[in-house]
Structure 1
Amino acid sequence: MKIFFRLLAFAKPYSRYVPSYAILALLAVVFGLLNFTLLIPLLNVLFDTAPAKQPVEPTFALNIDYFKQLFDYWFYSIRFEYGAKGALQFVCGIILVSVFLANLFKYLSQRVMTDMRTAVVRNVRHALFEKMTQLDIDFFNKRRKGDLLSSLSSDVIEIESSIVSSVQVVFREPLMLVGYVVLLFMMSVELTLFTMLVLPVSGFVIATISKKLRRDAKRGQALLGNILSAMEETISGNRIVKGFNAEAYVQEKFDKENNMYRKVLKSVFNKKELASPVSEFLGVTVVAGILLYGGQLVLENRSDLSASEFLTYIILYSQILVPAKNISNAFTSIQRGIASGERVLGIIDHPIEIKEKQNAIPVPEFNESVEYRNVEFNYGDDKVLDGVSFSLDKGKIIALVGPSGSGKSTIVDLLPRFYDVVGGQILIDGKDIRDVKLQDLRSHMGIVTQESILFNDTIFNNIAFNKTDATEEEVIAAAKVANAHEFIMETPNGYQTMIGDRGSRLSGGQRQRLNIARAILKNPAILILDEATSALDTESEKLVQEALTNLMRNRTSIVIAHRLSTIQHADEILVLQKGKVVERGTHDQLLLTSGLYAKLTQMQLVQ
């Protein structure tokens, strides 16, 4: 139950809900119990049993007996004065008022609980999304999108429907149960002790079912993540699916996961539905036992209960089945929610690897240089960078070239601390980047990658991403520098045109120019270009390259280029191979060495 209470902690502060809910639920229970205690005088009227003389008004005392005697005094006074019909009308009126108040307080307590339920779901989803934005890139590289989407959607919904919706049952129904048991003990200790014998058996059966239910629920949520992953991959890669005539292939893979999920879900529902009839059958078994055992005592005049009191006892005990059944159902439902809660809390509790030190150094401006000193980095057991060293002065351009897998992208990913070095240092203005404020570090950088990352929003909002104070003039100026203004004005609504999911309504060159416009608007001190033109056709590349040239002018830049013709004017070119810098120099200097750079250049000229 540790996870159950941790999830409920998302409803804090409890003072908003607990006092009002406790009062309203208690009143609902009290009036609910009162309905059944009124059955005794009602049956007495029907059975025509009454005391020989009118009872005396009791002396005030703050206990249950006083209120019971007071009600008897009123009831029998009315009976003596108005007869059986008058007493019957009086009891029926009291029952109606009591039922109305019981349901009114039940409804009001439900409203309080609804407020809490929605607050828990909102806070869980907020905490989950907030943690996802804080986690380092390596976390997402090791997780499937489908699992993360499943946690944000179905897991949170399961928590709401299974755990939070069961809260009112967990807190209200035990009150009802205790109230019924207290009344039963007050009526007959002997019969009530007899009924308690079945509780351990019922508890054991429900616990066994719940344990298996929780195991199946965990497996079911994992399989749902597989289904969402398959759907996301098929939607994202629909061109490849159609191009390879792979519709039947992906459908078969999806159906396999879907059928496995159905099988587990069927098992979960079967076990969940089993708890209710089992608890009901055991409860009715006890009622039958009471009728047999208690009925013999009444018939043989060996019981303290009258016939009307015994009937009320049976009716009252039968009402125990309702909260007992609700608690049983809630307990089994909670197991499903706990399985989802474990997945959600597993993400929320996941340690953040890239942390900012407590007394991090502020770096409001970039003034001097970026330096890599003997930098080493591993992906697992694979060494990716081995003793990489170079210095980049402010306003200079350095280019990284080399075959695939040589470590180029890793070098630029280390600068904004998407990952941390495992050896050596990276310095900005002479300060280790691990010692400076993370937000300050990243605020100095603009990143344009091979993949155009755009959002399903307007062109204006994509260019002005996270710059909420950007004016229309500033956005248009950035678009003009990025050679994007002309095509933007040709779209249906100009800068207010929606571009679709990941910019799907634009061409590759158009998407990339919006990325560049976004970087221009940010006006970063340090620019990182990771093969920004490699995926473009010749015409688009020319426009984008012009935009990049405008962007890099008088700006500190690290450029990874697939096409070597685009980096000829770099102040220094580093040639990497297997994580090491094997050559360095200007374009002209490297061509004279007849090394790897010269070979790569020659290969591209031949092509």
Structure 2
Amino acid sequence: MKDFIKVLQRFLPPYKGDTIMMFVYNLLGAIFGVFSLGAIVPVLDTFFNKSVDVAVLEKVPWELKTDVAVHNFNYYITVVKNNYGAEYTLFFIAAVALTMVFFKVLFTFLGSYHSVNIRNGVVRDLRLQIYNKMVSLPLPFFSAEKKGDIIARSTGDVQEVEISVMSSIDMIFKNPIMILVYLIGLLLISVQLTLFVFIMLPIAGYIIGLTGKTLKKSSRDGQNKMGDILSTIEESLSGLRIIKAFNAEEKMHVRFSEESNSYRRIMNSMMRRYVLAHPVSEFMGTLVMLTIMCYGGMLILNGTGNLTGSTFIAYLGMFYMIIAPAKAFSKAAYTIQKGLAAMDRIDQLLEAKSTITDKENAISVNEFGNSIHYKNVTFSYNGEKNVLKNVDLEIPKGKTVALVGQSGSGKTTFVDLLPRFYDINDGSISVDGVDIRDYKMKDLRNLMGNVNQESILFNDTIFNNIAFGVENATMDDVIAAAKIANAHDFISATENGYDTNIGDRGSKLSGGQRQRLSIARAVLKNPPIMILDEATSALDTESERLVQDALDKLMENRTSLVIAHRLSTVKNADLICVFHEGKIVERGKHDELIEKDGAYKKLYDMQLL
């Protein structure tokens, strides 16, 4: 229950107005519900001539007392009956009952109207929190997490919380009000019988609650398994070409079947317990109802407890009205357990601590002045083997530095440290003599542009992909950037030009076209520092020529770090650094390194062969 209260405390404060109005309307709805049932007692007594005496022929002054209200209601019914007859009185009773029910359903609707605002608002807020947290977390976090599991938390788990929050709102602001108001009505009719109800209900509630004790754990297991299933689906869609190429359809089918069967077993166990709630609560409700009927009947037959047949009928009607919200309590208890399990999984994401953050007094930086200096930099992923070992390199402004070497030698890690995608373990990286950890991260990254081997594009128009991250970009700006990137001609040849949607990850374009859009995006940002990570390695000769020409234009008058496997593309670099097992083993210009006849010369000769 504490966890449930904490969830409400987190999400309801922005909706105080709706919460208050929902409470007020539900209270009024319950009160009119009691009035509609309480009217049965004097109506039955008066209608069947059981209590027509001098008392009901005289009206008493109105006071906030039950006896006064009952007496005056008797009076009006008696007047109508004596003046117009029993048949007309029947229509009068029906009109009174209909009026009471009308106000009951009206206020109940208004209460639900405000609860809808809360429900949809809470779900929106939760999704926004998850998304904002997801994009704010550093890259190391996602190395240890499955994409499918994060998607499951953002969709299925949020849906579970939505259902849970809605049930909890009804449980807190509707059902207790109804039960309390109806219990007051029961006490006014018979204290002795109501005390008996107070003994029976907790016993029934305890028995109903026994079936839901392990539901939260089972629900968490099911949601974790759904994360595994979504991860498998995501991997299958991403790697569909490889699955088909290696005839691995059956292998993936077996893997997915195992995951699905495991999820089925978990959900069978949970849902059997869940569906048990209704029959158990119905059986216990019927048992309590029959027990009350027997006990109340004994009180009437024995002449104790001030009960009459008419009051007992009204009493049973009110008690029956309690059964529905009481059942809703038991059902909500199950649903809330599922929602709390989902909330636990969501909180694992929301409460994940970002290891890469700004310092308290971080410095703003708007321009790049002199140089970038890597000084004795050492780095490892998750405390494992060092990927970089005491690397030292100074990059003057306006120079192009090429990084070459075998795969896994540390080149990509080296450039990823500059925009603080990861933080170094030892040493320092400085821009203009200031450690990059002292700068505001957003300002630091504004100094840099990235073009990667894999063109990361979005399912949007060509215009929006080029203008991505640049505020208030005009069409003229985008066209100018596209021309520099050798992309304007193929863009103009598309059906809708710059308004053409390029599909998921740019699937409607060729590799060279996607890469030139990435370059155009970097050109439009116009950063002083450019990071190029094997931007031409996956292209054919013609596309490479176009992209390389665009890259040459992009690097003009900029400080560039270029990772290249094709050494022919970096012959003109101001400095070439050869990486091997996390260290720079050679550095110099192309001709100098060829003359040294070392690691670079071996790589160059291998490519020539």
| TM band (smaller chain) | over 0.9
* Distance (Å, rounded) in 2 between the aligned partners of 1:85 and 1:527: 92
Aligned partner of 2:325 in structure 1 is 323
- Look up the SS of the partner of 1:17 in the other structure: helix
**1:569 correspondence with 2:572:** yes
Gaps of 5+ in 2: none
| Counterpart contact for 2:22–2:173, Cα < 8 Å | no
8 A Cα contact 1:3 1:341, kept in partner: no
How far has the Cα of 1:71 moved from its partner? Answer: 1.9
**Which AA in structure 2 matches 1:10?**
F
Question: How many angstroms does 1:415 deviate by?
Answer: 0.5
Match of 1:264 among 266, 275, 282: 266
Which of 281, 284, 294 is the aligned partner of 2:283? 281
Task: Determine whether 1:601 maps to 2:595.
Answer: no
Q: CA deviation at 1:113?
A: 0.5
Paired with 1:455 and 1:38, the residues of 2 have a C-alpha distance of: 65
Deviation track 1:473-526 (CA, whole Å, cap 9, x = no partner) reads 221121111111222122222211111100001111111111111101111100
Indicate if the aligned counterparts of 1:7 and 1:120 stay in contact, CA closer than 8 A: no
Q: Secondary structure at the match of 1:469?
A: coil
For 1:554 and 1:98, locate their aligned partners in 2 and report how far apart those are by CA, in whole Å.
81
More displaced 10-residue stretch of structure 1: 293-302 or 30-39: 293-302
1:406 matches 2:409: yes
Give the C-alpha shift of residue 73 in structure 1.
2.6
Q: 1-side partners of 2:573 and 2:205: how far apart?
A: 76
Deviations 1:172-194 (A, max 9, x none): 01111111222222222222222
CA distance in 2, matches of 1:536, 1:565: 14
Q: Which residue of 2 aligns with 1:199?
A: 201
The CA RMSD measured in Å over matched residues stands at 1.7
Question: What residue identity is the alignment partner of 1:520?
Answer: V
Match of 2:537 in 1: 534
Matches within 5 A, 1:420-439: 420-439=423-442
1:578 is displaced (CA, Å) by 1.6
Q: Residue 275 and residue 15 in structure 1: after superposition, are their counterparts in 2 closer, same or farther (change >3 A)?
A: same
The equivalent residue for 2:4 is 4
After superposition, the C-alpha distances for 1:382-417 in whole angstroms (9 at most, x for unaligned) are 211111111111101111112121111111111001
Deviation at 1:79, TM superposition (A): 3.1
Q: Is the 8 A contact 1:526 1:555 kept in 2?
A: yes
1:491 matched to 2:490? The reply is no
Q: CA offsets, 1:91-135, max 9 Å, x none?
A: 221111000110011111111110111111111111111111111
Offset of residue 360 of structure 1: 0.9
Q: Which residue of 2 aligns with 1:463?
A: 466
Structure-2 separation of matches of 1:202 and 1:578: 70
C-alpha offsets along residues 530-568 of structure 1, whole Å, 9 cap, x if unaligned?
111111122211211111111111110011111111111
Structure 2 length normalisation: TM-score?
Answer: 0.96
Question: CA contact under 8 A between 1:163 and 1:333: conserved in structure 2?
Answer: no
- SS for the counterpart of 2:594 is helix
Q: Residue deviations 1:182-220, cap 9 Å, x none? A: 222222222222222233333333333332211111111
Equivalent residue for 1:453, pick from 453, 456, 468:
456
1:165 deviates by 4.3
Measure, in 2, the Cα distance between the counterparts of 1:472 and 1:311: 77
Secondary structure, counterpart of 2:459 in structure 1:
coil
Q: TM-score, normalised by structure 1?
A: 0.96
- Distance, in Å, in 1 between the alignment partners of 2:533 and 2:265 is 46
CA distance in 2, matches of 1:572, 1:205: 78
In the TM superposition, what are the counterparts of 1:328-347 in structure 2 within 5 Å? 328-347=330-349
Aligned residue pairs total: 606
- Cα distance in 2 for residues equivalent to 1:511 and 1:262: 42
Return closer, same or farther for 1:3/1:451 CA change in 2, 3 Å cut-off.
farther
Using the aligned pairs only, state the percent identity: 47
Deviation at 1:259, TM superposition (A): 2.2
- The offset of 1:16, in angstroms, is 2.4
Change (3 A) 1:428 1:206: farther
Counterparts of 1:210 and 1:590, CA distance in 2: 73
Mapping of residues 584-595 of structure 1, within 5 Å: 584-595=587-598
- SS of the equivalent of 1:447 reads strand
* Whole-Å separation in 2 of the counterparts to 1:10 and 1:589: 65
1:347-391 deviation line (CA, Å, top 9, x unaligned): 111111111112111111111111111111111222111111111
Matched with 1:126 is 128
Residue among 506, 517, 530 paired with 1:514:
517
Match of 1:159 among 158, 161, 167: 161
Q: Is the 8 A contact 2:447 2:528 kept in 1?
A: yes
Instruction: Give the secondary structure class of the aligned counterpart of 1:517.
Output: helix
Q: Distance in 2 between matches of 1:67 and 1:485?
A: 84
Q: Is the 8 A contact 1:397 1:556 kept in 2?
A: yes
Query: How far did residue 323 of structure 1 move?
Result: 0.9
Number of the residue aligned with 1:18: 19
Instruction: State the AA in 1 paired with 2:505.
Output: R
> Aligned partners of 2:67 and 2:264: how far apart in 1?
57
Partner residue of 1:247?
249
Q: Which residue of 2 aligns with 1:182?
A: 184
Matched, 1:36 2:37: yes
